[in-house]
Amino acid sequence: MGALYDVDKKLPMPGYLKGVLGAVNEEAAFLTLLGHAKTTASKLAQWGVDIPGRNGDPTGAEGTDKTDGFETTLPEVLKNYAQRVQSTGWMISDLAGLTDTAMESGKALAANKQAADARKGLLSVQDMLLSNQDTADSADAGDAKDRTRAVYSWLDSAAQGVFPIPASVRPTTAQNYTSTLALFTEDAFQTALRAAGEQVDKDVDLLGYVGSDLAQHMAYWDCKIPITAATEASTRSVVSKQDDKRIIRKVQFFDYHGSSVKTIMQRRMLCDIANANAKTAYTTRSGVFVDMSMWQLEWLESWKHFPLLDQGGGPRGFHKGWVRLVCKCPMGQIRAYIGS
């Protein structure tokens, strides 16, 4: 559905970035499953989206030339800025670098501080990508910082403020659940899945990143469920093999007619980026259900370490990169934006 107009090359992942991702594999479930691509050094990228559909009446008359009715519609265009991402940075005092602590030598302390900064910084990048951040140009932003559009903004059914996604390729309102967690029933989920399938005119196979409360809530959908609104007499049950000392209540796969979903619990989404990435009311209750083939992370500059000048206080450094989150096509995907 989506074809990048800019250079779209698979990135032979640099050893440093690959090593850091390997160290945070379980915590960085979104980053590690994203396709990583090398891009041209352009802050603003654009790509075209061909809308799924059919032609009209295929019947033609024998012996006649075709002179009209040609398809002339151009693909819809999506745009997104890249942004600089960086870690907090690390430093050890002059004395700490010269002496041994109870746990490690001064040299080992510096190396471990650098490694921890690399991991924490990259996890913060993931927090940003799984937020509701919209794209912005530094020339227009109040803090003079560029920003890339994050997942929850890409899947919003409402028009964005900057480079709004055309209505023809935005997820529909039926795919954008915004009510309470209590009302997000299995029926509501299936309604969103059917809408996603109808939008792309095919079965959908989605991966869900869900907060801890939403994951627990969905795990109870295999319990007693009314077949009709009038009665609970006809129910279904799911039997799990259990030993005598274990209670199992974990559901990660949801298979319906026309849709299949696997969920991964994600503990950090929709955090308050401006407030030290603090969790919000939406963090544990929300979720996105995405087609991972439609997403990739473009690196203008790969994640790497920058040592800074030690002017006597002690060694120090930080990590930096330039990234852009590309959603090749947001159609056929679902957002559950739940704050209560």
pLDDT of 241 reads 56
pLDDT of residue 314: 87
pLDDT given at position 321: 95
Yes or no: say if 288 and 209 are a contact pair by the CB < 8 Å rule.
yes
Measured CA to CA, the distance from residue 259 to residue 255 in angstroms comes to 6
Tell me the two tokens of residue 324: 């852009």
55 vs 237: CA distance, rounded Å: 44
Instruction: Give pLDDT, residue 5.
Output: 40
pLDDT (average), residues 36-57: 81
The helix (run of H) or strand (run of E) holding residue 264 is strand 259-265
pLDDT digits (tens, 9 = 90+) for 199-215: 999 999 999 999 999 99
Residue % of the chain over a pLDDT of 90: 60
Average confidence (pLDDT) over 24-40: 83
Greater model confidence, 39 or 60: 60
More confident residue, 13 or 257: 257
Q: Which sequence spans correspond to the domains of the chain?
A: 2-48+76-336
> First vs last Cα of the chain: how many Å apart?
35
Instruction: Specify whether the CB–CB gap between 180 and 217 falls below 8 A.
Output: no
Write down the H helix ranges in the chain.
15-23, 29-33, 94-98, 106-129, 151-154, 186-200, 212-219
pLDDT tens figures, 206-246: 999 999 999 999 998 876 554 454 544 444 444 555 566 67
pTM score: 0.86
Residue-wise pLDDT tens digits, 175-184: 999 999 999 9
Q: Which residue has the higher pLDDT, 27 or 159?
A: 159
Residue (of 296, 289, 288, 269) closest to 280 by Cα position: 269
pLDDT of residue 9: 47
